[in-house]
Amino acid sequence: MKIEYRNLFTHFVFTVLHREVRIGEQSRERIEKYITGICNNNDSLMYAIYANAEHVHFLVSRSPKLSEEELASIVAESSQRFINQQGLCGNAFSWQETASAFSVSKSDVDKVCKYILNQKEHHRKKTYQEEYDEFLRFYLKNIKDKEG
């Protein structure tokens, strides 16, 4: 059955292999634009993206034709190839084999967009590990609350 309307907001987090600091400020915008294009070409609308030095956050309204895992794989493989072909992050750039995908309600889209676009300031106060641990505590707590 064809899906005519959708509300499938997903906040993805991709991490550079070994959490190495590889994405420089001079390459950040090109990488963001390329990932945006990949999403758009796969019927998924980009709402916000920010490429930090060792990880990338982006929020999309995902196509119902693609699972989170399918879209993440397409974005990871295509962007990794582009980054390496263009020499944007030095030698042999790779994403980690796993990524994170968090569902976002329509009422939280604006808040998540602001969070993503404010990454530079956010990471002056909190490391990526601290941020990631907070995500896991928040999402896992909500899952356990519903199961419990």
**CATH number where 83 lies:** 3.30.70.1290
Rounded Cα–Cα distance for residues 123 and 135 (Å): 14
Give pLDDT tens digits for 122-133: 777 878 888 888
74 touches 38 (CB < 8 A): yes
pLDDT of residue 13: 95
Name the residue range of residue 52's domain.
Answer: 9-108
Q: Is residue 144 part of a domain?
A: no
33 touches 106 (CB < 8 A): no
Average pLDDT taken over every residue of the chain: 91
Structural domains counted in the chain = 1
Q: Is residue 33 part of a domain?
A: yes
Q: Read off the tokens for 71.
A: 């879209």
10-35 mean pLDDT: 96
